[in-house]
Amino acid sequence: MRRLLRRHRAAEAEIAGEVAAAAAVATVPAEPDLQAAAFFDVDNTMMRGASIYHFARGLATRGMFTTSDLLKFAVGQAVFRLRGNENPEHIAVARETALAFVAGSKVDDVVRLGEEIYDEEMSDRIWAGTRALAQSHLDAGQRVWLVTATPVELARVIAQRLGLTGALGTVAESQNGVYTGRLVGDLLHGPAKAEAVRALARREGLDLTRCTAYSDSANDLPMLSLVGRAVAINPDSELREHAKKHSWPIRDFRTGRKATLTALPIAAGVGALAGGIAAGIALRRHYRSS
């Protein structure tokens, strides 16, 4: 009797399996669209606030950075953004200052800390609406790249965590796995972003007229104007006006909060570099004390 019962159950299980398999709906992967891609700014476009600031906060929780240093950095970013002090002279000074501190930092340490701090400080700051837009491009078979003044190592961590194709970011020179204190090229900011996108398009065979770019800042107008479709995400006042004038789509995920109050600090090109200064100082102190 028990043997018959086991056979009966086995037969029922087989039937259930066959029925379930027949009812399953397979998701057909999108055909790769090799000529189209999407480019996303990071700070206040993909993420609330400044990615490099959140990185500095993570260093602070590890005792590698003082709260006083963090406050000075935050105020500095806000001042640069609100006053619009992003002229070449300011950028050059900030760049030279940053390079004096980043020298000697280990690339592997930056990457490791970036992964840890993303999970702790950044993952819950991703705008769900922007991530959905990025996913829609992936679902259409298009590649999706982050384009940011943030150091490329941190930008790559964010891209990897979000399942994106890759990232374009500011590149610091390194030798034998240690930063030399020099940049390869310049900050990936303003017109440099457009040049990076143009170079990537040549390398990857992209048709820029079929590409889309997303940003919150008028600083990224060179990149936004380079592609066939530009979208303003959580735009500052200048970008909002430009988008309206040129009939660009506007998406605002801030639920009514003012752009300058979304998160403090709000990163711009120099603001992001200021975060690099902060991180460099912290890492340098860490190595000296170890």
Catalytic site positions: 41, 43
Q: Residues in the chain, how many?
A: 290
Q: What is the DSSP letter of 184?
A: S
What three-state secondary structure class fits 178? Answer: strand
Do the beta carbons of residue 213 and residue 224 sit within 8 Å? yes
CA dist., res. 98 & res. 119, Å (int)? 26
Instruction: Count CB neighbours of 243 within 10 A.
Output: 20
Do the beta carbons of residue 154 and residue 51 sit within 8 Å? yes
DSSP string of 70-139, one letter each residue? HHHHHHHHHHHHHHT---HHHHHHHHHHHHHHHTT-BHHHHHHHHHHHIIIIIGGGB-HHHHHHHHHHHH
CA dist., res. 217 & res. 236, Å (int)? 6
Closest CA to 164 of 131, 188, 213: 131
